[in-house]
Amino acid sequence: MGCMKFSELSVYLDKLERTSSRIEITKTLSELFIKSSGAEIDKIVYLFLGCLAPRYKGIVFNIAERMMLKALAFAYSLEKKNVTELYKRVGDLGEVAYKLSSKSGSRITDYGSLTVLSVYEKLLHIAQDEGEGSQDRKIKDMAKLLSSLDARSSKFVARIPVGKLRLGFSDKTILDALSWMEAGDKSRKAELEAAYNVLPDVGLLAKAVKEEGIDKAVKKVKPKVGVPVLPMLAQRLKSPTEMIKKMEEVAVEPKFDGLRIQIHFKRSGFNGKKDCKVKAYTRNLNENSWMFPELESVDKHVVSDEIILDTEAIGVDEERKALANFQQTMTRRRKHRIEEIASKVAIKFYVFDVLLADGKSQLKEPYLERRKVLEKTVNKSKLLEIVKYEVTKEPERINALMHQELKEGMEGIMVKRTNSRYVAGRTGWRWVKMKEEEKAKAKLVDTIDCVVLGYTRGRGRRAGFGIGQFLVGVITGQKIQTITKVGTGLTDDQFRELKKRLSKFETKEKPKGYEVPKDLEPDYWVGPKLVVELAADEITKSPKHTSGYALRFPRLVKFRDDKSATSATTVSEVKKLFKLQ
């Protein structure tokens, strides 16, 4: 059993908070991992990432800031208004906890002696407490935990449930540190990342590496039903001639404007539960099975006993006998009245790949072999339909198929190398997408997914919206760099919706990792939570924006609720798009 004291862990948390150097963060994490035991390393990893489990498990605290303020008041025997006043002055719940704990001093016998495992278990209990009266119980249990910790520990524990830990690193840094732990450098990072792509639970991977070493841990990894695989993504190329040059023989598929969904099916049921045979995950690795009650009948449409399918979920407009657009499909994102909404917007899953079939991984099989497995295991129905494809080596045929799909209302085409394995992310010229240009004059061949960094107050007519324009960025490594401000092309309803969403993510200080010039700083910062899809006339080089690029006449296409900040467009992708112009 692990027995590291949480007070010892908080020393590392404090050091990491004050460190900006990526290599120093990696070395510090590596040093901590060497000290930790196999029983606690996974918990340490989760806590350092500000969570209790990987995203796909859906364990959330459901503790708002007002609840944490009540817990702090209760923990240190103060009036809530006094705690709220202090919070308004310092703007950080962690600092509030630190100040209040420092003043209160030790009041109980086990003060400062709690282990990492016991703090983790207490936080997990709080997160999983549901039902009538759970809010009050969460507040009381949180207060009890805070009052049992030293001041430095309470600072970090107060931040975790409200998503404000702000250490500024992600799963990829943990992989770097695991390599450093065993090899003393980043030389094992590629192997660890390949394993993580298949089994994206960095805590579980850290535990396996700690107990068995990298070689054994990586060798054991394979797709598992109930654990989402990181999705394969498409590159961008404008020229079919260039596609054939880079990819040789290709398969051309229609490109849908839907929601990317990974379907996991187990005929015997998950955890032996016969009534839970199917799970659905977004490309963001969040489980959203509740959105698709019709998937409960998927067992009638697949031959395999265990299967993982890559699909695009599309709303079907029954009246017009046509496919609905992305926004209509996304009306299902609210759990409230889902049965009623599902009856209005029928869903069909267009299946284009298979990752696992009857316990056998298909990831290393070439595209055409995976297609044969699909044909054998999925039956065409109103629920599932295998996406059509055509194999070609001719650029002219790619162009013809592109025009044909656009005429049929598709978004464009996907061009896939026929001998390609299924590889997570955008690596190599394996998959390429080709989309319709929004305007004939537009030079930009695709949309860009940007992270909202902050917003400015509305003036004039927009004063009532509370927002006038917003600043967005693209990612490079662990940083987010600015690319444009957006203030036009939104409807009044979109402005109101945007303000409502961003208000939830406001933060007093500029989040770690944001690279924003002084003259572009917004009135309000927001955490990297909201991704928006933008169209623009063109990309230009910019000495002003930290990405080195800017968007000319940017406009909002849609909110990307299916994407996280880590899956937004990268600076290197923007550079490629710039060249494609």
Q: What is the CA radius of gyration of the chain?
A: 25
Residues 6+ apart with CB under 8 A from 329: 258, 259, 313, 314, 315, 345, 347
Helices assigned H by DSSP within 189-280: 189-198, 202-212, 214-219, 240-247
What is the pTM for the complete model shown?
0.79
Distance, in Å, from the CA atom of 563 to the CA atom of 579, rounded to the nearest integer, reads: 25
Cβ atoms of 405 and 222 within 8 Å: the answer is no
Residues 6+ apart with CB under 8 A from 214: 178, 179, 182, 183, 188, 191, 192
Distance, in Å, from the CA atom of 406 to the CA atom of 445, rounded to the nearest integer, reads: 15
Secondary structure percentages of the chain, helix, strand, coil, to 5: 40, 20, 35
Residues 6+ apart with CB under 8 A from 93: 65, 68, 69, 72, 87, 158, 159, 162, 164
Q: Encoding tokens for residue 22?
A: 């990526």
pLDDT the model gives residue 357: 96
In angstroms, what CA-CA distances link 506 with 91, 452, 546?
11, 11, 22
DSSP state of 324: -
- Bridge-based pairing state of the strands 431-435 and 235-236: parallel
Directed axis angle between helix 22-35 and helix 41-48, to 10°?
150
- Please say if 255 is a catalytic residue: yes
Residues 6+ apart with CB under 8 A from 107: 147
Residue type, 118: S
- Give the number of other CB atoms < 10 A from CB of residue 246: 16
Q: Three-state secondary structure along 390-436?
A: EEECCHHHHHHHHHHHHHCCCCEEEEEECCCCCCCECCCCCEEEEEC
3-state secondary structure of 87: helix
Residue linked to tokens 């063109």: 538
**Exposed, middle or buried by CB within 10 Å (0-12, 13-18, 19+), for 450?**
buried
Q: List b or e across 78-96, with b for residues whose CB sees 16 or more CB atoms inside 10 angstroms.
A: eeeeebbebbeeeebbbbb
Cβ atoms of 161 and 120 within 8 Å: the answer is no
Q: Encoding tokens for residue 418?
A: 């026929």
Distance, in Å, from the CA atom of 580 to the CA atom of 568, rounded to the nearest integer, reads: 19
3-state secondary structure of 484: strand
Closest among 176, 177, 190, 214 to 427, alpha carbons compared: 190
Q: Encoding tokens for residue 154?
A: 């309470």
Mean pLDDT by 10 residues, the chain (581 residues): 85 92 94 96 95 91 91 93 92 92 64 85 94 93 94 94 84 95 94 94 95 94 94 88 94 92 94 84 89 91 95 76 56 56 76 95 97 95 94 95 90 95 89 67 74 87 81 94 90 88 88 92 93 91 94 90 89 89 73
3-state secondary structure of 571: helix
110, 114, 118, 119 alpha-carbon torsion, rounded to 10°: 110
> Which of 70, 207, 255, 277 does the annotation list as catalytic?
255
Q: Encoding tokens for residue 405?
A: 């799909």
372, 377, 379, 382 alpha-carbon torsion, rounded to 10°: -100
Q: Encoding tokens for residue 283?
A: 């490309």
Helices assigned H by DSSP within 76-150: 80-90, 93-104, 116-128, 134-147
pLDDT the model gives residue 1: 46
Q: Encoding tokens for residue 79?
A: 């009036």
Helices assigned H by DSSP within 252-356: 326-329, 338-344
pLDDT the model gives residue 440: 40
- Give the number of other CB atoms < 10 A from CB of residue 53: 18
Cβ atoms of 306 and 266 within 8 Å: the answer is yes
